Amino acid sequence: MSSHEVWPTPLPEPPLWEEEQMWEEGPPREPGARPRVGPPAPGQIPLSMRIRRYRPEIDREPWWQEATVNMEPSDRLLDALHQVKWYLDGSLALRRSCAHGVCGSDAMVINGRNALACKVLVRDVAPKVTIEPIRGLRVLKDLVVDMEPFFAGYRRVLPFLINDEEPPERERRQSPEERERYDDTTKCILCAACTTSCPIFWGDDEYIGPAAIVNAHRFIFDSRDHGAAERLDILADKTGVFRCRTVFNCTEACPRGIKVTMAIQEVKRAIMFDRM
Amino acid sequence: METLQHDIVIVGGGAAGLRAAIAAAQASDALSIALVSKVYPMRSHTVSAEGGAGAALGPDDSPDLHAFDTIRGSDYLADQDAVEAFVAEAPGEIVQLERWGCPWSREPDGRIAVRAFGGMSVNRTAFAADKTGFHLLHTLFQTSLQFDRITRYDEFFVTKLLVEDGRCAGLAAIDLRDSEVRCIAAKAVILCTGGLGRIFAFTTNGSICTGDGMALAYRAGVPLKDMEFVQYHPTGLPGTGILMTEASRGEGGYLINNQGRRFLEGYIPGKMELGPRDILSRAIMQEIEKGHAFQGPYGEYVHLDIRHLGERTIDEKLPFVRELAEKFVGIDPVHEPIPVRPVVHYMMGGVDTDAMGKTRLEGLYAAGETACVSMNGANRLGSNSLTECLVFGARVGLQAARDALEAAVPAANPLAQLAEEEEQRLLSSYLDKRGGGERIAPIRTDLQRTMERGAGVYRTEESLKEAVEEVRGLAERFRDVAMDDRDRAFNTELVSALELGNMLDVAETVVVSALERRESRGSHTRRDHAERDDEHYLKHGLAFARPEGPRMEYADVSITRWPPAERKY
């Protein structure tokens, strides 16, 4: 299974899993779901997975784990990863929470592209899929990376509403058109798919990255906010927006369909007009 | 072991936890606040709430009307003093979120827009498209970043409340980065850990909703209240359980059976699709029993039809519904009806608290879905839960701040010792454990099936007795659990094992509480006791932990201005 020289599991006794052993029936979400092992049931398809593993206490370097599971075509890739974790190798580490593309936990490199494992369906990748941790952030274990540098960039752009005026007794008014102006960049789920697809970010860990700029944009263009000048100053710095070379990887990677590169360009323009 | 000292420690970084943290931070700049969460706060399950947050904002509305709707929706089991506090403070919380930058959807004149929701007699659900929970959570998270006195412990899993001298004085938590157990001492501990939907097979709840806070409180001697009341949402996608928001009916969507009929006219003609969730879920189950449902690879379903709303309204008001239906069932709701079926969604019960979020254990508080105040009684109305997190999150944060300013600093020594004992338990039971013949996943799957079969929409004495026995049998099997992963770095298998332990404990309180309530009320429907029985059961059930299984006690419901009446729509 592994090309790696150090087999990582000190197997518990008695071994719970041997190769070729039939898997127990997978956990159906509800009655009627079918087994995941043996020959695929009608309608199921086999999915061969290559998962990049790294357990820092055991492995000297990363290695590939391979596994084949039978899945419904409409299952999520996250479901397939769960099959591996639940029934083959409990040591596989990944983050997940909502499982429908809104919490931002499970960004991974899937067949070479950044995506959420819960928004990639089995039928979109079968029969083979390669899964790796997102790039440019230190791998803590398997598919789990250190998100702290990513969140540090987010915090730098002052990602909160700045407005020191005495508020009215009721809500501040905002027209639907004003609300629409910053709608696209409110959609960021902080999954880091954009930032970790950016070649500038890979090469330069000072670069604040697309996600931070998207979140700055969300407030800069909110009619209620008064912090634009401060944020534009931060983003005009050498670690800010002008590092962007408009590669568009971020826009392609965004699982929420945010026009990331356009948002970055709008921020660049705001800085230029502001300065000139 | 080093002891980390804070004045207040909050467990859980969803809407209730973040709102509590902000309230406490605003109460005094002298307070040090810790926010401990097993996931980054923006991954919390609040993120999945779609439809909106209810509050009497409009000129045609009033807190009293909101209170009446809530109490009637609760089948008269809600504590009316808690409901009165809730409806009075709800509008202020919605406006407060606006001040913090929440991107609420707007009316043409710029006011916060409101929409219709089930069981609400006027339009009072404020929304941010159909990702209200997401926007609310991010707004709270962003606001919390402005307070240096809030220290976050992200990706820490709390395993035990530390009780010393009859008061909760801190907790033990595992740092997932290195599996070290940390002792966090505090004058006040607030549980905001959300629900327990994952004890069921088919649920809208994310993987993280495993009843952690309820299990922590229960083991510390605090009763769990009204645990039999589990809400089924009428409209989940078959297969995945992904929620199709009630807003799709609030905006005018229909439920249709395989006869092509809006079948709710046979069940709740006065409200139709805007009826409360318990009644609609039962109606769909009855249609399924009558053979009036469609057959699919994931069981039977009915149709949610929003085609007549038109593409423009769908894209403006329900964009996420369209995205989810297209992605996960391959259906564009602009052109085709969406398959839906009832799905476990929300826990009305939880940690017994008063209306300020205090439990009967000094120093311990709870708010949000974890808590049972009780403002939801036997059935929660849609869009009341986000607001509940705001109102009671703010209340509990303020109350804990007041109490912490007066309380003495807990002594570090006995606490560190308790935490060290907990560390030894975790090592011997899991990380250093050898052998064991049971995997985690099959036990969890069996639990989920047991709960669905024994304590689903319809329950009987027999189904519940079986479920009690099965849950106890699963707890036995869990003692023999084996671990593949002994890594100290990011051991997610250890987390799964601890979560399963929590799930088994809370599941037992659900089935025992349901067995002991021999009536039908709100979401709790007994085929063998079909009527509501106010004479015997206009009471809150309280489940206390004992080694041999929960001991039940009953407590009065607070009735202020709305005497119990037949629940008519």
What ipTM was reported for this prediction?
Answer: 0.96
Domain harbouring A270, CATH code: 1.10.1060.10
Q: Give B34's strand partners.
A: B9, B151
Pick the CATH number of B421-527 from 3.30.1490.20, 2.70.98.20, 1.10.287.3240, 1.20.58.100: 1.20.58.100
Residues A56 and A134 in one domain: yes
Residues A151 and A99 in one domain: no
Domain harbouring A65, CATH code: 3.10.20.30
Q: What chain A residue is nearest to B453 in terms of C-alpha separation?
A: A31
Confidence category of residue A6, pLDDT binned at 50, 70, 90: very low
| Segment holding B205, helix H or strand E | none
From the list A32, A101, A224, which residue is nearest B298 (CB)? A32
Question: Chain A partners of B441 at a C-beta cutoff of 8 Å?
Answer: 27, 86-87
Confidence category of residue A4, pLDDT binned at 50, 70, 90: very low
Residues A53 and A89 in one domain: yes
Could you tell me the CA-to-CA distances from B30 to A27, A97, B146, B406 in Å, in that order? 49, 35, 15, 12
From the list B43, B452, B485, which residue is nearest A104 (CB)? B43
Residue A15 confidence (pLDDT) above 50: no
CA-closest candidate to residue B200, choices B304, B386, B28, B347: B347
Q: Which residues of B are catalytic?
A: 233, 249
Q: Is residue A194 part of a domain?
A: yes
Per-residue model confidence as pLDDT tens digits over B225-274: 999 999 999 999 998 999 999 999 999 999 999 999 999 999 999 999 99
Question: Chain B partners of A102 at a C-beta cutoff of 8 Å?
Answer: 47-48, 131, 134, 320
Residues A158 and A76 in one domain: no
Tell me the residue range of the domain where A208 lies.
147-163+178-275
| Residue contact B101–A161, C-beta within 8 A | yes
Confidence category of residue A12, pLDDT binned at 50, 70, 90: very low
> What is the layout of strands, in order, in the sheet containing B33-37?
B150-154, B33-37, B8-11, B188-191, B364-366
State the best of A94, A145, A147, A161 to mutate against chain B, taking most chain B CBs within 10 Å: A161
User: Is the Cα dihedral B192, B193, B197, B200 positive or negative?
Assistant: negative
Question: Chain B partners of A96 at a C-beta cutoff of 8 Å?
Answer: 207
Residues A137 and A155 in one domain: no
Q: Is residue A260 part of a domain?
A: yes
Could you tell me the CA-to-CA distances from A213 to A186, A264, B62 in Å, in that order? 12, 6, 42
Measured CA to CA, the distance from residue A245 to residue A95 in angstroms comes to 31
What is the model's pLDDT at position B435? Answer: 85
Domains in chain A: how many in total? 2
Residues A238 and A155 in one domain: yes
What is the model's pLDDT at position A39? Answer: 75
Per-residue model confidence as pLDDT tens digits over B48-96: 999 999 999 999 999 999 999 999 999 999 999 999 999 999 999 999 9
From the list A91, A96, A98, which residue is nearest B484 (CB)? A91
Q: Is residue A227 part of a domain?
A: yes
Measured CA to CA, the distance from residue A87 to residue B128 in angstroms comes to 40
Residues A183 and A137 in one domain: no
In the three-class reduction of DSSP (H, G, I as helix; E, B as strand; rest coil), residue B173 is classed as strand
What is the model's pLDDT at position B281? Answer: 97
Residues A124 and A206 in one domain: no
CATH architecture of B3-229+348-416: 3-Layer(bba) Sandwich (3.50)
Contact B241, B203 (CB under 8 A): yes
Residues A155 and A256 in one domain: yes
Q: What class does CATH assign to B237-342?
A: alpha beta
| Segment holding B28, helix H or strand E | none
Please, is A68 exposed, middle or buried when counting C-beta atoms within 10 Å of its C-beta (0-12, 13-18, 19+)?
Answer: middle
Residues A156 and A138 in one domain: no
Residue A117 confidence (pLDDT) above 50: yes
Residues A188 and A120 in one domain: no
Q: Which stretches of chain B drop beneath a pLDDT of 50?
A: none
What is the model's pLDDT at position A275? Answer: 52
Q: Is residue A4 part of a domain?
A: no
Q: Is residue A14 part of a domain?
A: no
Q: Where are the domains of chain B?
A: 3-229+348-416, 237-342, 421-527
pTM score of the predicted model: 0.95
Q: Is the CB of B201 inside 8 Å of chain A's CB atoms?
A: yes
Question: Chain B partners of A16 at a C-beta cutoff of 8 Å?
Answer: 437, 439, 482, 484
Residues A91 and A187 in one domain: no
Question: In the Cβ-directed half-sphere of B329, how many Cα atoms lie within 13 Å?
Answer: 27
Q: Is the CB of B204 inside 8 Å of chain A's CB atoms?
A: no
Q: Is residue A110 part of a domain?
A: yes
Measured CA to CA, the distance from residue B126 to residue B140 in angstroms comes to 16
